[in-house]
Structure 1
Amino acid sequence: MPRCAHADELRIVDPPDPVPGCADCLPVGGTWVHLRMCQECGHVACCDSSPSTHATRHHEETGHPVARSVEPGEDWSWCYVDAVMFRAVGG
């Protein structure tokens, strides 16, 4: 079974409350479908189904490997480097 090599290095696991929206879309009036949060720096950005795909762009620009869904009821994470989905436990 594929494993995320970065899972033990996650810094930020739990999303902020509340999540106002995509940090990159909000200033320019953009729209998003779903939100993802970088588990290294906490940046909240839109998913690949959104017009601007800011979460993937954040990974490409920073090299931060893991983002998690911040949608209500979802607790999965995605590792861009290892291309694997997994669940991280908050602390």
Structure 2
Amino acid sequence: MQPISGQIISGEFDHVHNHFSVQKVKNLSTLSVLNEQQISMLYRYLKLHENEEDGQIVTLYDQIPVMLTQFETKLLLRDLERVQQLYKQC
């Protein structure tokens, strides 16, 4: 497992099973396992909406809303780019 500590998300990338385990979003602890397609879909959505002044809301466990400012959305995009690079190395 390779630890990833980004500006918005933190977790571990598992090269054996080819997935990313999100352990923290902003200051909230979580445990969500995302595959390459899920990371890609989230990245594309945020990329389309990165310049919205009101920011974005992501949910943890489909229940806990987490507000991201426009700046935090851009930081999350950078974090996701790092994770996407790990998928390309597999």
TM-score (norm 2): 0.27
Structure (1/2) with the larger strand percentage:
2
Structure (1/2) with the larger helix percentage:
2
TM-score (norm 1): 0.27
